Amino acid sequence: MGDKGVRAMIYKVRERIFSISDHFTIEDEKGVPHFYVRGRVFSIGNKLSLEDMNGNELCFIEQKLLRLLPEYTLYFAGRAAATVKKTFTLLRPKFTISSIYGNFEIEGDPWSHNFSIVKDGKLAAEVSKRWFSMSDTYGVDVAESEEPAFILALVIVIDQTLHDRKN
C-alpha cells in the first residue's frame, strides 16, 4: 500500500475466469496457503464458503437472485454481516458495502485490473494484477487494521460479479 496505508499481508487470489471450478486456495505472497474457497456445485446463484486451512467456515457468500444489479450477502458465524451491491456506472466497476465492520466502497479501473477498497475515506485494501507476473492472479494488500477474511470475501464477490458479466 506504500505511503497510503500499513501493509499487513499481501494475498494472491486467482481470477475465477481461469479456474475450472469454484474451489481454490488463497496464498500469501510467499506461496503459503491461508484460506480455501469452496463453491457449491449445482446451486442457483453463486454460493461459496471461505474457510481456514483446517476447513472451518469463516464466511459464507451468497448471491441474491432477481436483482437488477448483482447483490451478495456475506455471513460470518451464520449471521448476515455485510451486503455488497454493485452500483450502476458506465466505465468503472463500483460496489457499495454495508457491514458490521463499517461502510465500504470499492472502485476499479476501466479494465478491472486494479481496485481500491475504502472504509470511511481511508484505504482498507488495494487489489491489483500488477504485483504478480501471472495475469490471472490478483494481489490483495490488506491494511493491518482490517479483517483479512472479510476483505478477501469482498474480492471474491468482485471476481464473481465480473466473471458473470463476461459470460
> CATH number for the domain including 24?
3.20.90.10
CA distance 161 to 167: 10
On the 0-12 / 13-18 / 19+ scale of CB atoms within 10 A, 75 is middle
Residue 1 lies in a domain: no
* Grid coordinates of 53: 486451512
30, 152 in Cβ contact below 8 A?
Answer: no
Residue 158 placed within a domain: yes
Q: For the chain, what is the radius of gyration of the CA atoms?
A: 15
Q: Look up the domain containing 56 and give its range.
A: 7-166
Q: Tell me how many domains the chain contains.
A: 1
User: pLDDT per residue over 24-83, tens digit each?
Assistant: 999 998 999 999 999 986 678 889 999 999 999 999 999 999 999 999 999 999 999 999
* pTM given for the model: 0.89
